[in-house]
């Protein structure tokens, strides 16, 4: 196994948010050093990394110098520009490959890939102009959701269209960026499958996690999801198919809509650990972050077995509206774990941290985590 990047080596990560922070903590526990690259200083990842390189993603000399100093480059920020990933690849292996980042950075490319792979997605139509949008609305019907093709997250850049005469205003709201129109899915639930693929093609997954959103932002995740085993098996098979078709080395999350008539539709992909998988830190033998470390270093993947049922609740900046929340109250329940990401400014909608509760059942864990968050 000469391909292994052994503990003691230095790993590089592009992007410096909470996903990088939790990746870094997993890597350092295993004896790796971690260097992080992003435009931000004193970032959530930089605070816990061995070195924080602060430079613009398009400063390709700085990018190459960074990549030369590490054994492998991975990422946590999805919108790393393609030339940045390519510059890294000149100096070190990039895992997952930059081509996967490129694909998932654009909803139209991503959906086209999924549809061509025979995987079920909501009906969609490109919407770059008013003419496209009008055609799309005629084809898909109402209601429909208009999304910016690139740079959307946490529901930003999305618009629900319920009336044909909203088309003109909707296209203006895109501000000349490319758009994608999708059928609005009146789903029963939302769910995700976080999965990993090793350098040798091995596959591991965390089953189906149920996700509850508020204002298009993930609010609570529950695992294992209480859904029929057939549906869970189908979702996992789809995730396996995505990781294999993309030849992923690393972690990738598939987000699903579970429809009222018992179908799984793929909503979107994230080629990295996912907010819904944060509960694997406490609930599973191997967390999604350790799995990312193992995969990108060519190590065998770890067991994804759940030790207990778990629930995760996000802590958004809104919770700070009356000052710092009462963390002692949140910690008062012995099965609840507090994670804060080291972000200074608690803006509304900003992910500042999360709580995970373990329980005998998913309902029990959910109740604990909500009690803890309510303070």
Give the Cα separation of 37 and 42 in Å (integer): 11
Query: Which neighbouring-strand residues pair with 72?
Result: 11
Give the Cα separation of 98 and 88 in Å (integer): 9
Q: Cβ 160 to ligand ADP, closest distance in Å?
A: 8
Q: Cβ 108 to ligand ADP, closest distance in Å?
A: 12
Residue nearest to ligand ADP as judged by C-beta position: 185
Q: Cβ 288 to ligand ADP, closest distance in Å?
A: 17
Give the Cα separation of 361 and 368 in Å (integer): 11
Quote the tokens at residue 229.
């085993």
Measured from the CB atom, the residue of 71 and 211 that comes closer to ligand ADP is 211
Q: Cβ 253 to ligand ADP, closest distance in Å?
A: 11
Q: Cβ 255 to ligand ADP, closest distance in Å?
A: 6
Q: Cβ 72 to ligand ADP, closest distance in Å?
A: 27
Q: Cβ 270 to ligand ADP, closest distance in Å?
A: 8
For ligand ADP, the binding residues (CB under 6 A) are 122, 145, 152-155, 182, 184-185, 190, 213, 216, 255, 267-268
Measured from the CB atom, the residue of 4 and 160 that comes closer to ligand ADP is 160
Could you tell me if 362 and 224 are in contact, meaning their C-beta atoms sit under 8 angstroms apart? Answer: yes
> Within its chain, how far is the Cα of 363 from the centroid?
24
Phi, psi at residue 199, to the nearest 5°? -60, -30
Measured from the CB atom, the residue of 24 and 183 that comes closer to ligand ADP is 183
Which residue, chain included where needed, has tokens 């350790």?
Answer: 290
For 17-20, which contacts have Cβ atoms below 8 Å and span 24 or more sequence positions?
Answer: 17/43, 17/44, 17/45, 17/76, 17/77, 17/341, 18/44, 18/45, 18/341, 18/351, 18/353, 19/76, 19/272, 19/273, 19/289, 20/44, 20/45, 20/49, 20/76, 20/77
Which residue, chain included where needed, has tokens 């639930």?
Answer: 189
First to last CA, the chain: 50
Query: Which neighbouring-strand residues pair with 124?
Result: 182
Least Cα distance to 116 among 252, 230, 246, 208 occurs for: 246
Measured from the CB atom, the residue of 36 and 119 that comes closer to ligand ADP is 119
Measured from the CB atom, the residue of 19 and 53 that comes closer to ligand ADP is 19
Q: Cβ 136 to ligand ADP, closest distance in Å?
A: 13
Measured from the CB atom, the residue of 268 and 364 that comes closer to ligand ADP is 268
Measured from the CB atom, the residue of 259 and 371 that comes closer to ligand ADP is 259
Q: Cβ 70 to ligand ADP, closest distance in Å?
A: 28
Q: Cβ 171 to ligand ADP, closest distance in Å?
A: 18
Measured from the CB atom, the residue of 18 and 24 that comes closer to ligand ADP is 18
Measured from the CB atom, the residue of 107 and 294 that comes closer to ligand ADP is 107
Quote the tokens at residue 95.
């895992």
For residue 352, the SS3 value is strand
> Within its chain, how far is the Cα of 257 from the centroid?
16
Give the Cα separation of 245 and 224 in Å (integer): 26
Measured from the CB atom, the residue of 217 and 333 that comes closer to ligand ADP is 217
Strand order in the sheet with 336-340: 264-270, 250-258, 189-197, 203-214, 217-223, 309-316, 351-359, 336-340
């Amino acid at each position: 196994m000469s391909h292994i990047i052994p503990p003691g080596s230095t790993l590089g990560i592009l992007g410096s948010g909470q996903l990088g922070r939790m990746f870094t903590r997993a890597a350092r526990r295993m004896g790796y050093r971690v260097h992080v690259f992003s435009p931000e200083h004193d970032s959530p990842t930089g605070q816990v990394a061995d070195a924080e390189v602060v430079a613009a993603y398009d400063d390709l000399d700085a990018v190459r110098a960074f990549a030369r100093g590490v054994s492998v480059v991975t990422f946590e920020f999805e919108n790393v520009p393609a030339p940045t990933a390519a510059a890294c690849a000149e100096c070190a292996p990039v895992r997952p490959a930059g081509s996967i980042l490129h694909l998932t950075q654009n909803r139209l490319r991503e959906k086209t890939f999924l549809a061509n792979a025979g995987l079920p997605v909501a009906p969609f139509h490109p919407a770059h102009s008013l003419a496209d949008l009008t055609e799309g609305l005629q084809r898909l019907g109402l209601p429909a959701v208009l999304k910016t093709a690139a740079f959307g997250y946490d529901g930003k850049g999305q618009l629900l269209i319920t009336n044909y005469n909203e088309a003109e205003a909707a296209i203006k709201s895109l501000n000349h960026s490319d758009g994608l129109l999708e059928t609005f899915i009146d789903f029963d639930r939302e769910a995700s499958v976080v999965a990993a693929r090793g350098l040798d093609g091995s596959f591991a997954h965390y089953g189906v996690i149920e996700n509850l959103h508020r204002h298009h932002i993930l609010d609570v995740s529950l695992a294992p999801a209480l859904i029929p085993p057939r549906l869970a098996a189908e979702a996992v098979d789809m995730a396996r198919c995505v990781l294999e078709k993309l030849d992923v080395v690393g972690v990738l999350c598939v987000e699903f809509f579970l429809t009222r008539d018992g179908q799984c539709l793929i909503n979107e992909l994230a080629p990295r650990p996912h907010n819904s998988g944060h509960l694997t830190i406490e609930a599973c033998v191997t967390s999604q972050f350790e799995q990312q470390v193992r995969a990108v270093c060519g190590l065998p993947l770890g067991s994804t077995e759940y030790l207990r049922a778990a629930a995760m609740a996000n802590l958004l900046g809104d919770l700070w509206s009356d000052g710092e929340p009462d963390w002692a109250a949140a910690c008062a329940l012995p099965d609840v774990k507090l994670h804060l990401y080291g972000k200074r400014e608690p803006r509304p909608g900003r992910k500042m941290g999360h709580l995970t509760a373990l329980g005998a059942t998913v309902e029990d864990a959910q109740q604990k985590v909500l009690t803890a968050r309510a303070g």
